[in-house]
A and B are shown apart, each in its own frame.
Chain A
Amino acid sequence: MTRSPKLITRACIAYLVLASHQVHAVDTDLFVQRVQQSTQPLSKRLQTHDQAELIIVLDEVGATAANADADRDARAIVALLRAGQTDAVADHALESLTRLHSREGRDGLMAFVHQRRPDARLRAYAGLAKLGEARDVTAITLGLRDSAPQVRSAVAKALANLPARSAVPDLLSALELGVYDAATAIGKLGDAASLERFSAQLGKLPLAVLLEGYANYLERQDLPDVLKLRIVATLEDVSGGVVKQFLTAWLARPDGPGHQPSPQLRQAVATAASHVRSLPEQNEQDTTAPAATVKP
């Protein structure tokens, strides 16, 4: 006989009532452990039209660190998605696939990057990025061409954590078209050639956006100091309170795995920070003003 999570939940509530004769509140998290002990395969548990029940089951999937049946569960969820679901169930299913981190879920995620709802596409791209497979970089990069701004933004963020050097030209184009989250990814992935195009956005895009990219450029160990010194010189030219604050904060960071500047670079940053003056507010506004004309 199969037991549904709803029955288990009701049994637990009944048990609590009997035990304490007083129930103040019911927290579904209390029953997670019991539910996961179900011996039913996920595919069986997903065979219901009860939306709430589906969501509960999907939320449980991948909640624990180890899941021996990740591939089987991923297949079940992909089948569920292909059968057509409501928005809520589909979104939870995509998140479950992301959590499962199973290659079996890749096809399902790949299919949903073309779903009509932007929220579903966003989750599908996030799932693919979480898989972190190099072969998916091209497909994920296509998300920068999506019609929904939230999808473009999410993809730009996701690319920053992937070995996606090939995406840098598209990231630069996206940045020029107002996808501000691309700046971070460019700073992490861009090479020397990309820096010139990136710096060309000074005065066009908000300075704070570009500083995120510069910060990542400066932390890169694979880039030569010459390039970083050029960045520092550029920032010194830009000047202003925001730049001074940025440089000062950079100097204050303790050395560590993500921050190991050479003495020469540190010296250059210190010099630039001392040269840069906190100019009146007008200067700051001038730097960022053109950003308003950029296409969102």
Chain B
Amino acid sequence: MSSAAISVRCWFGSLLVAVAGGCAGATPAPTVPVITAGSVCSGELPPLASAPSAVTSKEATTQPQAQLAAYVTEASPSELVVYDIDQGRERLRVKIALKNRPELLDDIVIAVDNENRVVAYDLNTGELRFRRPLDRSSWLGAVQVGSQVVFTSTSLSFRPAERGSTVTALDARVGSVLWERVVPYSLSRPVVLDERVLVVSDHADLWALRIRDGRNAGCATIGGKGRRGPIDWLETEGDQLRVGMAYAQELRLGSTAGAAPAEGAILELPLEPLPGRPNLRPSSYDSVPARRSAYGRVGVSARLTQAPGSAPQLASGHYYFAFYRQLFAYRADGQLAWAQLFPTDAVRVQPVGDAVFVLTEGGQMLWLSAVDGAELTRRDLPAHVASASVRLQDSTLAHQSAVSDPLALRAQLRAIAIDTDARLLPGRKVAVSALSTLDDPQVTRDLLDVYVQSAAPVELKRHVAAVLAKRKPGSEHLLAALNTSYDFLTGQPAPPLAAIVPGLVFNHEARAVPGLIDRLFDPDTQLSELRLVVDALVAFGNAETRAALARFFTLYHADSAFAADASALVVAAHALFRSPTATDKQGLEAAREDPATVAELRAELVPLMAAVPAAPLAQAKADEPPPAPAAALPARLSDEDIVRTFAERSEALRSCLEAVKEPTLRALRFSFVLEHDGTLANLHVWPEREALTHCLSAKLTETRFPAFAQGRRMANYTWRVQPDSPAREIIADTEESAPFWRTAQLRGRMLSKHDAHTPWWRDQNPLFVSVDAPATKAPDPTNTVSEPSKPASDITGWPPAPEPKKNPTQPNTTDNWWAPTR
């Protein structure tokens, strides 16, 4: 071989190597990071570190930019408009149906149209820069660095091949693809830091790509002790990188390769009480639609600043919560500073300088003072806006002087609370809560006005009533409202007692007594509210209230108006009985004896009157140890407790039998109601014997069953009284959710012919018995029944256990037919 040939071969070989190397540099073989052990940062990716010689994006974009608003009009067909705020003119208006909210980048406005194409227009000329199809269905957002546009798109699908995210870099001038990274999982929208594109994966891992070629620039898993849960958003400001969710935290990339990012101090704002528990920033994983939606209309806005090594701080000391037409400005400690109600929804809220910028759906651009919400500047757009992005500077527009009104906050909150927009209920509740913290007595009047609004939702009324029940200032307004009454001619509604009375009691407002008595006898006081009035009169307890309650009780004890709900009468009866005068006692006894007394009340009066009056009882209780807390009581009274109590009282009950002397009487059936305090009411005895019932009733009303925590229960008890037969007690629980088969069991066991046979469901296979006998403990001899033909005395023993003598190998007394066979 000649030297020339060798040299050509060497040259050709070098060329191949060079080409190969060059190609490798232009289109790198993508090393797709895979999620290993829950982290995208596999060993293939280098650790993420700061770029020592990086030119920060802040430095790269120091030139002042014009203030712009890019918005989509609500008209049909919709238009994309770019408005120059400084010059007050439109830079661009084009009819286009957009799918995503437009984004203002350095020199283009970019969005995705309804045909899923990325479109970009030049901000200076208004010309179309490019239009190219988007492979994935959702566009998350873009950044521009020089002549490159980097964006993330994502798609959700049950097909693994279609699922995943793509980070794409385009040439901002022509839209050609410079590089692309595809992963089979979700990524956030990108941010730029130190000439690298950062995205968050799996809400925890930070993945960096080189801007110029898309190669891996590192990966870091963020999960230090200080972090408050997953990462939902990330942002950069200059050379600072912040991540967060409801919190904000600075991340500082390690200066050396391999060092984990240092997680800085955390800013946490009290966002939990806000409707929907919003995050501090919108999610970086969400695609924002161009049409009307909650995006931009509901959420928190805050401008953060940061000194090195410290936690992020609120720039103007305020953060803002937008809720459609409402805007609330809070101080860092969560105190409400001011609030505004706009005629139309706020489409965009963005803090700027010492102001907050608001763009409303109606096209108003407002700069409001961060301190008190006073309007600094107003500009109007000539269109209704569906969605918008803005690029703002701290300009003179945000520094106009405005006169603040010290009474503004109350008026602002009242306007929000009383507004009848049905969507705004959560915001109205926020306003009501904020109003209730103000010391101005007039606020009480405002809250009552909100309550009596005919269009006020029940939830709002409840909230108003709750805050009024704990409010100190403004009792005079509650009193004034209490003293009004329904008037057909003037349209005056009945006073809202549910909102008034608890507050008066809370404030110990004794001046309310005459008004409360008026409402007690007012026919327009609702039954549900009457109970509150009676409770209040009991709480204020004096001779006047006592006389009124007695009069009320006597007048209405038999009135059908209380047939549905006699709770007010019952409370009055209890109050009168607590320390009864002779007249009270007479009235209570008369009501108890009156057959026309409302059934619910009568059922209460019988045990009440049988009990020891409360005054002596209170004296007796003073010597007793403190009662067990309610939590210690059982939730319900068990059948065993009832049987045991009857057993304890059996001797006393038998004395009643002797009075009747009826030898043919074999059993008695009791039906009754047990109150949670262990008293018995509504006793019925079968067969009916007047003398016997009277005697038993007296004995049983003296009886105290074990107390229990929840409500009351109905129960039946059958008592075998024949001396020559063993006692048998059966309780049929008619109130608790006893399974239906228990009733069937109780009924079925009465038929002796069934007891003579082994039940059909019992496995009679001797092999099963011998092989599959579960290894349980030996039967308790006290539970065995010597005569299987007789019904068992305890319902819990049903079905009857097999006779041990016949089958000694089967030790268990229950038939586990449902257990799997081995």
Contact = CB atoms under 8 A, between A and B. Distances in A.
B523 interface: yes
A59 interface: no
Interface in B537-565: 551, 553-561
Nearest to A143: B488
Contact of A86 (B489, B490, B553, B596): B596
A87 B559 contact: yes
A270 B590 CA distance: 68
Interface in B567-604: 590-591, 593-596
Contact of B596 (A85, A115, A173, A177): A85
Interface in B481-507: 486-490, 494
Interface string B508-529: 0000000000000111100000
A283 B595 CA distance: 60
Interface string A158-193: 000000000000100110010000000000000000
A49 B486 CA distance: 35
A146 B558 contact: no
B558 A85 contact: yes
B560 A145 contact: no
A244 interface: no
A145 to B, nearest CB: 5
B488 A144 contact: yes
Contacts of A146: 488, 523
A49 B595 contact: yes
Interface string A111-147: 0001111100100000000000000000000001111
B523 A87 contact: no
A7 interface: no
B560 A174 contact: no
Given A82-B554, A116-B561, A121 B487 contact: no
Nearest to B560: A87
A115 B523 CA distance: 6
A66 interface: no
Interface residues of B, number: 26
Contact of A83 (B494, B521, B522, B590): B590
Contacts of A117: 523, 559-561
A51 to B, nearest CB: 7
Given A82-B554, A85-B596, A147-B488, A114 B559 contact: no
Contact of B486 (A85, A145, A177): A145
A85 B554 CA distance: 9
A99 interface: no
Interface in B647-680: none
B558 A116 contact: no
Contacts of B554: 82-84
A152 interface: yes
A84 B489 contact: no
Contact of B489 (A49, A114, A116, A144): A144
Contacts of A170: 489
B561 A86 contact: no
The dominant DSSP class at the B interface is: loop
B489 A51 contact: no
B493 to A, nearest CB: 10
Contacts of A152: 488
A121 B596 contact: no
Contacts of A86: 558-560, 596
Of B494, B521, B555, the most chain A CB neighbours within 10 A belong to B555
Given A114-B522, A117-B560, A84 B555 contact: yes
B383 to A, nearest CB: 40
Contacts, number: 65
Contacts of A84: 553-559, 591, 594
Interface string A67-89: 00000000000000011111101
B518 to A, nearest CB: 9
Contacts of B524: 147
Interface string B165-186: 0000000000000000000000
Interface in A269-294: none
A244 to B, nearest CB: 34
Nearest to B555: A84
B523 A116 contact: yes
Contacts of B558: 84-86
Contacts of B595: 49
A288 B43 CA distance: 89
Nearest to A172: B489
A177 B488 contact: yes
Contacts of A83: 554, 590
Nearest to A114: B521
B523 A147 contact: yes
B594 A49 contact: yes
Interface in A79-107: 82-87, 89-90
B556 A116 contact: yes
Contacts of B556: 84, 116
A87 B563 CA distance: 11
B564 to A, nearest CB: 12
Nearest to A141: B489
Given A83-B554, A83-B590, A84-B554, A116 B559 contact: yes
B489 A121 contact: no
Contacts of A89: 596
B529 to A, nearest CB: 13
A49 B596 contact: yes
A28 to B, nearest CB: 21
Interface string B378-416: 000000000000000000000000000000000000000
Interface string B687-700: 00000000000000
Nearest to A54: B596
B585 to A, nearest CB: 15
B459 to A, nearest CB: 26
Contact of A121 (B490, B523, B557, B559): B523
Contacts of B553: 84
Contacts of B555: 82, 84
A160 B465 CA distance: 44
A251 B160 CA distance: 96
A3 to B, nearest CB: 23
B452 to A, nearest CB: 16
Nearest to A112: B555
Contacts of B560: 86-87, 117
Interface in B444-490: 486-490
Interface string A194-226: 000000000000000000000000000000000
A36 B191 CA distance: 103
A90 B106 CA distance: 86
Of A118, A145, A177, the most chain B CB neighbours within 10 A belong to A145
Contact of B487 (A51, A85, A90, A145): A145
Contacts of A49: 593-596
Nearest to A116: B561
A117 B522 CA distance: 11
A116 B595 CA distance: 21
A82 B596 CA distance: 15
A89 B596 CA distance: 10
Nearest to B594: A49
Contacts of B596: 49, 51, 85-86, 89
Contacts of B551: 82
Contact of A145 (B489, B559, B590, B594): B489
B223 to A, nearest CB: 65
Given A86-B558, A147-B488, 19 more contacts: A49-B593, A49-B596, A84-B553, A84-B554, A85-B558, A87-B560, A90-B559, A114-B522, A116-B523, A116-B556, A117-B559, A117-B561, A121-B523, A145-B488, A145-B489, A145-B490, A147-B524, A152-B488, A177-B489
Ranked 3 nearest A-B pairs via Cβ: A116-B561, A86-B596, A173-B489
22 contacts: A49-B594, A49-B596, A51-B596, A82-B551, A83-B554, A83-B590, A84-B554, A84-B557, A84-B558, A84-B559, A85-B558, A86-B559, A89-B596, A114-B523, A116-B523, A116-B561, A117-B523, A117-B561, A121-B523, A144-B488, A147-B524, A152-B488
